[in-house]
Amino acid sequence: MSRKVIFLFCALSIFSYFGVIFMVISPLSTTFYSRKYVESYPLRPPSVQWCKQQRWRSPAARGAVALVSFPGSGNTWLRYLLQQLTGIVTGSIYMDYGLRLHGFPAENVSDGSVLVVKTHESPPIEPGRFKAAVLLIRNPRDAILADYNRLHKGHIGTAPKSAFRKRSAERRSTDWSNYVATQLAAWESLHKQWLTQFPGPIHIVFYEVLVNDTRHTLQGILSFLNQTATEDEMNCTLANREGIYRRKKKYNNFDPFTRSMYDELNTVRNKVLKIVLRYQKQHSNVQKSSR
């Protein structure tokens, strides 16, 4: 083999090696969120003012608690609030480099060293993967719209109006209408699976209640997680509740949902609410009988 061939082979190997490293450490490489997510942040993003110094739990053997939600339901915002209140980092089954750069150092950590673990997936098959779960439920209309915005402009941006009018390849329907249909089915399936198949205890949180009564909702979550917080810590969290993780409403007089979409949204939402009520009734009876 000639020296020229050997040289080219070595150069190619070195290039490939460092190329892989660059992809791993680059904030533009994610396993769940698109490149647009990172690009949606300003070059110099606002710094997060934490109420407490962030730390990891110890020991890690206590077991992991899932923070379950459908995409667009406020998972990132609730993680932020919990980190503000407890000072304990929250994890995720995903590796989102954008979030890791903006206040969530435990991305891709899903063990007991973190307070809760973000997931948008079905209950895991592995027994004992999660010992308990916090299930965050948001109105499917708002969750689907929020996630559609995320796909186009990341966690804090809003999709342009043109994105809701773009036609599919068959020209028979819009990308938006197809997206609503598929995501509504996924919204129903996710909540139904966790409420009927997960063997551990579940604490149910409604996003709308979290927004309107943040204090008592957070207190309920703390109790479920066996955590405590002082009044000063709670007041600091509430004073900094917005952070940089809540999307600002851009269009005041624009509704992308049609009447038929609303009919389907209400039908599915009511089906899931019935499952929620059934779950709460069953487990309320279990708690009473165990006293």
Query: Does some domain include residue 14?
Result: no
The pTM of the whole model exceeds 0.95: no
Judge whether residue 198 has pLDDT over 60.
Answer: yes
Residue 236 lies in a domain: yes
pLDDT tens for each residue of 73-121: 999 999 999 999 999 999 999 998 888 888 899 999 999 999 999 999 9
Note whether residue 134 is domain-resident.
yes
Q: Residue 259 half-sphere exposure, CB side, CA atoms within 13 Å?
A: 0
* Dihedral over Cα of 209, 144, 149, 161: its sign: negative
Is the residue at 174 inside a domain? yes
> What CATH number should be reported for the domain holding residue 63?
3.40.50.300
Between CA 82 and CA 224 the distance in angstroms is 13
For residue 26, tell me if it sits in a domain: no
Domain housing 77: 46-289
Contacts of 208 (CB under 8 A, 6+ apart): 138, 139
Question: How do residues 227-282 score in pLDDT, each as one tens digit?
Answer: 999 999 999 999 999 876 665 555 567 788 999 999 999 999 999 999 999 999 99
Residues whose CB falls within 8 Å of the CB of residue 55, separated by 6 or more in sequence, listed in order: 87, 88, 89
Name the domain count of the chain. 1
Give tens-digit pLDDT for 10-43.
554 544 443 433 333 333 333 444 443 444 444 4
| pLDDT interval class at 291 (50, 70, 90) | very low
91 within some domain: yes
Question: Is 8 within a domain?
Answer: no
- Per-chain mean pLDDT for the chain: 80
SS3 call for 106? coil
CA distances from 63 to 142, 205, 219, 222 (A): 32, 21, 21, 16
pLDDT tens-digit map of 229-242 = 999 999 999 999 98
H or E element that contains 20: helix 3-25
Question: Is 33 domain-assigned?
Answer: no
Cis peptide leading into residue 256 (ω within 30°):
no
